Amino acid sequence: MQKFYGEVITTKIVADEFGKQLPAWISIQNSSNANIQLALEVTLDKGEASTIALALEQKDCLLIIDELRGRRLAKQFGLNITETLGVLIQAKLNGYLPAIKPLLDKIKQTDFRLSEQLVKEALKQAGA
């Protein structure tokens, strides 16, 4: 991701949810407007709310968000978004990954939900 996107920022809430040490090239930053984040938490979980609030303060950023309600709300705010699968597909298409199937197989072993249809479509888009 670092080579592909350059700067990668997440929030402390998301970093804590991740539960493991993040690579040194991922920086942690929080939104400076707690009121926006609290308003977003009415409909979203804290992780999605914190990332959308932070993205609203950034210039020309790409928000990586998988949760459907969060994606819809981010689009309403005019944010540029993608999903985890979109990141993998673009990394493959741009030569940063030789294949995405091994990563998709690893993702399936976690609590991250991927339908078989979504996996097939991702593999097709990535030219697997």
7 & 54 share domain: yes
Phi, psi angle pair for 36, to nearest 5° = -65, -45
15 & 54 share domain: yes
Q: Structural domain of residue 52, as residue ranges?
A: 2-82
10 & 43 share domain: yes
13 & 41 share domain: yes
78 & 115 share domain: no
For residue range 66-113, list pLDDT tens digits in order.
Answer: 999 999 999 999 999 999 999 999 999 999 999 999 999 999 888 888
64 & 117 share domain: no
For residue range 2-59, list pLDDT tens digits in order.
Answer: 777 888 999 999 999 988 899 999 999 999 999 999 999 999 999 999 999 999 999 9
15 & 78 share domain: yes
76 & 103 share domain: no
6 & 67 share domain: yes
What is the tally of structural domains in the chain? 2
66 & 10 share domain: yes
For residue range 35-51, list pLDDT tens digits in order.
Answer: 999 999 999 999 999 99
49 & 99 share domain: no
The pLDDT, as a whole number, for residue 110 is 86
93 & 72 share domain: no
The pLDDT of residue 128 is above 80: no
What CATH number is attached to the domain comprising 9?
3.40.50.1010
